[in-house]
């Protein structure tokens, strides 16, 4: 967690509280108070299933997705499970509505409430994708459940059996976002080193992405492409497209380039799949810098500013999607291994901007090295592109069926499958 008491105090009183999910952004009005801005708790209801009940005298219980918090008007603390946490101000009543410090939402919610995180950079409460049907079910479940205290997710624990985020309800159809890397003025990498027919990453990624989409559609999956032509799409917009479409998975296709500082750059070969996290190795940092550099072609005002990516990332470690993304990445590598002539370079982690904005399991596949003459030839051959697309589509289908099994398994009892 990266939030601090200071951060909450820095919010200007007039600043509305911003709550965002995959589809909407809601600005909730706040009022100034000595201990920092206050907000009417029920105004979060369009985005979160907040239920406030008046227990007795000054005591109130707030329930969100099974998490219960007890508040007392006039007292600057909140009880979450067995833990008592201090608040920057005391909750109070305003025309019969409970008004609480914004700090409750920025600091306590991320530790206690499933499916939310506080983005300290943009000062927003981010609510992860839970579709309307699931929300409705969860609300009903919470209302019907006996008044027993459910376990509270501790901020330090990642034990999935404790209180897993609510699973999305299985649906008839799934949506996969297929993202062809680069495009337009951004060629991506070009190769190979030492000459031969010139290849541009943006052309290969588009060809493979289109084939991947066709194969997924043939298997009954809805596909949304971030681009279908040679055009530049800002890195952040790719994630926004994915969120608007309510995607279940995000797959970004790229071609790798060897570092000129390597001993034998022309000889580097192989495929690797990344999921979003902080770069763990020097090599992962190289690929991260290379792919994030595409932002220099964008002229959106947001892109110019330096995102403290590490900030967002350290917070996103809490994100349920990391585990899912890791699993998808593993399946992609397994499938590619069975068809690609080059070596598997494994599943890796790095902070790709294109993955940061997609609130769903997301991977970035480097399908080979365009700097290597043999792989450049392989990657530009339509037959190989077919095979690569089939392999990635197969991995996505494997992932989805494993996911469906897990979700239905989790209904019977959490943790029974893993
Ligand atoms: Zn790329």
DSSP 330-354: HHHHHHHHTT-SSPEEEEEEE--HH
Taking phi first (over 0 means left), then psi (-120 to 50 degrees means alpha), and beta for anything else, what does residue 206 get? alpha
Provide the pLDDT for residue 410: 57
CA distance 320 to 309: 18
CA distance 45 to 54: 17
For residues 380 and 266, is the Cβ–Cβ distance under 8 A? Answer: no
Ligand 1 mean position, distance from CA 261 (Å): 19
- The angle subtended at Cα 108 by Cα 82 and Cα 3, nearest 5°, is 135
Ligand 1 mean position, distance from CA 287 (Å): 8
For residues 325 and 380, is the Cβ–Cβ distance under 8 A? Answer: no
β-strands 344-350, 362-369: how paired? Answer: unpaired
For residues 3 and 86, is the Cβ–Cβ distance under 8 A? Answer: no
Ligand 1 mean position, distance from CA 181 (Å): 5
Per-residue pLDDT of the chain (418 residues; tens, 9 = 90+): 444 444 444 444 468 888 876 667 778 888 888 888 999 988 888 778 888 888 888 888 888 877 888 999 999 999 988 788 889 999 998 888 899 999 998 888 877 876 677 776 667 787 764 434 333 333 333 332 223 232 333 333 333 222 333 334 445 689 999 999 999 999 999 999 999 899 999 999 999 999 999 999 999 999 999 999 999 988 888 888 888 898 899 999 999 999 989 999 999 999 999 987 767 788 888 898 888 888 878 764 443 334 444 444 434 443 567 888 899 999 999 999 999 999 999 999 888 887 877 788 889 999 999 999 999 999 999 999 999 999 999 999 999 998 888 777 655 443 333 3
Ligand 1 mean position, distance from CA 397 (Å): 24
Ligand 1 mean position, distance from CA 202 (Å): 8
Q: Which residues of 273-287 are buried (b: 16+ CB within 10 A; e: fewer)?
A: bbbbbbbeeebbebb
β-strands 175-180, 222-225: how paired? Answer: parallel
Provide the pLDDT for residue 5: 44
pTM over 0.85: no
Ligand 1 mean position, distance from CA 254 (Å): 4
Taking phi first (over 0 means left), then psi (-120 to 50 degrees means alpha), and beta for anything else, what does residue 183 get? left
């Amino acid at each position: 967690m990266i939030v601090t008491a200071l951060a909450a105090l820095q919010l200007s009183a007039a600043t509305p509280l911003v709550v965002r999910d995959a589809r909407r952004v809601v600005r909730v009005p706040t009022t100034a108070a000595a201990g920092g801005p206050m907000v009417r708790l029920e105004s979060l209801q369009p985005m979160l299933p907040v239920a406030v009940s008046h227990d007795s005298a000054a005591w109130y219980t707030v329930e969100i997705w099974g998490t219960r918090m007890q508040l007392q008007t006039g007292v600057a603390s909140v009880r979450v499970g067995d833990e008592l946490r201090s608040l920057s101000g005391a909750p109070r009543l305003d025309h019969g509505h409970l008004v609480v410090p914004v700090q409750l939402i920025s600091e306590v919610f991320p530790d206690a409430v499933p499916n939310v995180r506080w983005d300290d950079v943009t000062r927003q409460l981010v609510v992860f994708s839970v579709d309307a049907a699931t929300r409705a079910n969860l609300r009903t479940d919470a209302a019907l459940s006996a008044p027993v205290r459910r376990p509270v997710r501790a901020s330090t624990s990642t034990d999935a059996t404790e209180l897993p985020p609510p699973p999305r309800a299985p649906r008839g159809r799934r949506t996969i976002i297929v993202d062809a890397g680069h495009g337009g003025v951004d060629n991506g990498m070009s190769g190979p080193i030492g000459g031969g027919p010139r290849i541009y990453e943006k052309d290969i990624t588009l060809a493979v992405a289109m084939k991947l989409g066709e194969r997924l559609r043939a298997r009954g999956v809805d596909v949304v492409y971030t681009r279908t032509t040679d055009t530049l799409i800002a890195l952040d917009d790719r994630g926004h497209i994915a969120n608007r479409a309510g995607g279940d998975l995000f797959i970004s296709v790229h071609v790798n380039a060897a570092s000129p500082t390597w001993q034998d750059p022309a000889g580097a070969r192989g495929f690797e799949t990344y999921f979003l996290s902080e770069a763990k190795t020097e090599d992962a940092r190289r690929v991260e810098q290379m792919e994030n550099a595409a932002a220099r072609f964008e002229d959106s005002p947001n892109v110019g500013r330096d995102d403290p990516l590490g900030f967002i990332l350290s917070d996103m470690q809490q994100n349920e999607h990391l585990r899912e993304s890791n699993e998808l990445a593993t399946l992609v590598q397994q499938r590619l291994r069975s068809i690609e002539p080059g070596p598997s370079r494994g599943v890796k982690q790095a902070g790709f901007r294109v993955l940061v904005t997609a609130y769903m399991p997301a991977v970035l596949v480097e399908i080979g090295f365009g700097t290597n003459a043999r792989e450049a030839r392989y990657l530009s051959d339509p037959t190989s592109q077919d095979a690569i697309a089939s392999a990635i589509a197969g991995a996505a289908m494997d992932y989805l069926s494993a996911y469906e099994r897990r979700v239905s398994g989790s209904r019977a009892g959490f943790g029974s499958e893993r």
